[in-house]
Structure 1
């Protein structure tokens, strides 16, 4: 005989799978549902009347969120690929190569959110409002991340320039 926890786990996985979440991502979705359940139960006793129904609804919302995230990422990849194709044929001077490599190296050292907004703003020419809409964050957050990332890039590129001269 199977326990109630095992049955609930299988039910959540089924809802996620029916929602289109790939097999390999079901465990991540299951953990998200469990975390939301624990959070809701910690808020107060009795807030969840029917635990099975609640977890099914939350699992379906997690599936929707999964699709939204994948759509957003696919859109970003397509836009970056299109921009790459436009600039691929453009000739660049050999003396620009060291600077381009330094910038690429410095970009890798940024945090993921900072690198994301820098890429969208300066490589894809998106406005602050477009970035905020695309990432579903406030415009002020985009501005803050851009400011902080630009400061880090400026400092690191200045250091690298001084290291090469000195």
Structure 2
């Protein structure tokens, strides 16, 4: 059974020539070879979202693929700076503008997090220490965004209770 017969009529598909165009645009945009298929999948999803609104398919695919490549570079830059930001938080010397009270509070919060389940510590660290948005956390953990939001809500409430028990807040 062909690929097209397995899908409902009118659902836009990527033809083999479309896939080659998208891969070429992603490659020209600097996306590494090993990540091209992920980019193609992102373009497929955007194509499904667009439905039948596309007038010039090749132009549309080229623009969307180039935007996916730009997003890839932004993610990479954010991920690289993430390591630097996390390393800066754990240095022995606090930043010059950080007060001793702020440093003590940060250490106390870190201590309060130690008593939380690993799943809660994980989402708290990714959201508030790594400063990642919910969508990126969901992508990295391979869970729905709603699950991340739920875990964050539960974790913040649990951390708040622990800090109250420690008489910090």
Give yes or no for TM over 0.5. yes
In structure 2, do the counterparts of structure 1 residues 81 and 153 end up closer, same or farther at CA, with 3 Å as the change threshold? same
Equivalent in the alignment of 1:54: 60
Higher helix share: 1
Aligned-residue offset at 1:108: 2.8
SS at match of 1:74: helix
Q: Please report the TM-score for the alignment, with normalisation by the length of structure 2.
A: 0.58
Separation (CA, whole Å) in 2 of partners of 1:48 and 1:111: 44
Separation (CA, whole Å) in 1 of partners of 2:67 and 2:47: 13
Equivalent in the alignment of 1:83: 89
**Which of 39, 43, 46 matches 1:36?**
46
Equivalent in the alignment of 1:151: 157
Aligned-residue offset at 1:116: 2.0
Q: Give the aligned length.
A: 122
In structure 2, do the counterparts of structure 1 residues 114 and 29 end up closer, same or farther at CA, with 3 Å as the change threshold? same
Give yes or no for contact 1:118–1:149 (8 Å, CA) kept in 2: no
Q: Please report the TM-score for the alignment, with normalisation by the length of structure 1.
A: 0.59
Equivalent in the alignment of 1:20: 30
Separation (CA, whole Å) in 2 of partners of 1:30 and 1:86: 44
Equivalent in the alignment of 1:11: 21
In structure 2, do the counterparts of structure 1 residues 113 and 56 end up closer, same or farther at CA, with 3 Å as the change threshold? farther
Gap runs ≥5 in structure 1: 88-95, 121-130, 138-143, 159-166
Equivalent in the alignment of 2:125: 115
